[in-house]
């Protein structure tokens, strides 16, 4: 098991990911699971058609739509807990900022297959994707709430461009589709209590199956321009901030937002 922050940082730099097994105890996961399941049930009720036909994730879990202030505070406390912050600080030592949360589950529609991608491909054309992976990193901290098949990643692709096979599959060109196997893929099965940290811009895919329900916390480096991705409703209120032991992630986000508005 990797523990030391220099080791974590080296691993992230070289591979684009690391996993810490059994990092969170059963009590932590069980209280998190309760709140997240409440969000998930309400979200499914409100998004029946989308859920049935195409969804594989939701977002804005810390927002006010489905959870009470007490439940949201539990999430903020978890996100800013010492365990989570130790890992965040190891990878982004200067001013890490909170972006959002996402919840990943199995698609209902059996036609949907687990697909390879880089997150940046949905916002940038090819040339800018090449630049973005060199310039900035968005971190996903995946907290599985149940045992799951986990993720498959191509180590090192957080810092390097695709080879021909990877490009053809990810972009679905030259007869390839995005759920074709890619040689060099590393599968990372996860259990409730594990923590997987990975670069959103590396080539990766979630593996569908079992009862997966994974909370992903998205963190970015304040030096990068991701302010438009932040929804104010997902940030803690002032009174919540005053109760959080280590509110740096949220303070950095709020500072970026206020500078952007000035
Ligand atoms: O788990 C999944 O379905 C995909 C995960 C993913 O692509 C991500 O977290 O960026």
Tens digit of each residue's pLDDT (9 = 90 or more) over 21-79: 999 999 999 999 999 999 999 999 999 999 999 999 999 999 999 999 999 999 999 99
Mean of pLDDT values over 210-237 = 94
Strands (DSSP E) found in the chain: 17-20, 57-59, 96-105, 138-144, 148-153, 186-190, 195-199, 204-206, 213-221
- Rg of the chain, C-alpha, whole Å: 18
Tens digit of each residue's pLDDT (9 = 90 or more) over 101-150: 999 999 999 999 999 999 999 999 999 999 989 887 799 999 999 999 99
CA of residue 89 to ligand 1 center, whole Å: 22
Domains identified in the chain, total number: 1
Q: Which domain holds residue 201?
A: 5-261
Q: Is ligand 1 within 6 A of the CB of residue 119?
A: yes
Residue 72: CATH number of its domain: 2.60.120.620
CA of residue 262 to ligand 1 center, whole Å: 34
């Amino acid at each position: 098991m990797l523990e030391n922050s220099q080791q974590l940082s080296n691993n992230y730099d070289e591979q684009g990911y690391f996993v810490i097994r059994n990092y969170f105890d059963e009590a932590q996961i069980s209280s998190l699971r309760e709140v997240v399941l409440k969000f998930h049930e309400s979200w499914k009720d409100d998004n029946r058609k989308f859920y049935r036909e195409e969804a594989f994730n939701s977002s804005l879990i810390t927002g006010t739509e489905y959870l009470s202030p007490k439940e949201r505070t539990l999430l903020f406390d978890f996100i800013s807990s010492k365990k989570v912050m130790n890992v965040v600080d190891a990878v982004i030592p200067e001013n890490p900022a909170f972006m959002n949360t996402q919840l990943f589950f199995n698609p209902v529609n059996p036609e949907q297959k687990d697909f390879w991608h880089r997150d940046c491909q949905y916002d940038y054309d090819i040339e800018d994707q090449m630049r973005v992976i060199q310039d900035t990193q968005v971190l996903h901290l995946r907290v599985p709430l149940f045992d799951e098949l986990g993720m498959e990643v191509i180590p090192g692709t957080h810092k390097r461009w695709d080879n021909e096979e990877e490009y053809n599959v990810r972009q679905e060109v030259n007869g390839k589709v995005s759920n074709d196997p890619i040689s060099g893929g590393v599968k990372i099965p996860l259990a409730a209590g594990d923590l997987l940290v990975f670069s959103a811009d590396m080539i990766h895919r979630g593996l569908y199956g079992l009862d997966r329900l994974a909370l992903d916390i998205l963190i970015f480096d304040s030096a990068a321009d991701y302010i438009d991705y932040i929804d104010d409703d997902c940030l803690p209120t002032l009174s919540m901030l005053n109760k959080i032991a280590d509110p740096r992630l949220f303070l950095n986000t709020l500072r970026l937002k206020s500078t952007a508005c000035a």
